[in-house]
Amino acid sequence: MLEAEQSDPTLALYCTKALNASERIVAMIQFTKDYEEIGITAPAWQDCHTLVDEAATQAPLGQVIVKNDLPEGTEVFADPLILKVFYNLMDNAVRYGEKITTIRFSVKDSEDCLTLTCTDDGVGVPAEEKKRIFDRGFGKNTGLGLALSREILDITDISLKETGEPGIGARFEMIVPKGTWRITRKER
């Protein structure tokens, strides 16, 4: 078949389309599996610094650098699938950021909430897509990752929004309500 691909451009195109379709099917099967797991395990305290580090070992980062500025011991009360949220944010940044070199996670607390932020230096989210990127099926790949991420966070009332500027980079903010976050250790 590989020899035929090299000599017949039409066959090569069909093979590429078939391969892409099979990759999307695999991604949808994985999404279905992940989606079925939401809410199965009770929410628990999750150390966000550790989760970012773990997701960075799993995500296909290539040459992209992840800067984890979350203090150790920054914990949120969330579904254990929150690891997938951090992974999806990194994966999307690399996949769609085009010129991306860095992904940064940071935190800001206030009296009534904690804001976990994921920023990158890629191309950002086009203004006309901002409202739809969390819709299931919207996007260039499967359109499922951000929808799943939002649902995982929603279990414990954590909201997720995109506030970046097109051309400057994406910026995703996870707003954690009072009473569902804590700092258990100070950074050294």
Domain ranges of the chain: 1-37, 42-183
Gap between the Cα atoms of 113 and 177, Å rounded: 5
> In this predicted model, which residue has the larger pLDDT, 100 or 132?
100
Judging by DSSP bridges, how do beta strands 159-162 and 113-120 pair with one another? unpaired
Gap between the Cα atoms of 187 and 6, Å rounded: 56
Pick the CATH number of 42-183 from 2.40.50.140, 3.30.420.40, 1.10.645.10, 3.30.565.10: 3.30.565.10
Mean pLDDT score, 70-79: 95
Mean pLDDT score, 81-89: 94
- Assess whether pLDDT exceeds 70 at residue 90: yes
Query: Six-digit token pair at 157?
Result: 């009332």
Gap between the Cα atoms of 136 and 94, Å rounded: 20
Q: Helices 82-96 and 48-58: crossing angle, nearest 10°?
A: 50
Structure confidence at residue 93 as a pLDDT band (50, 70, 90)? very high
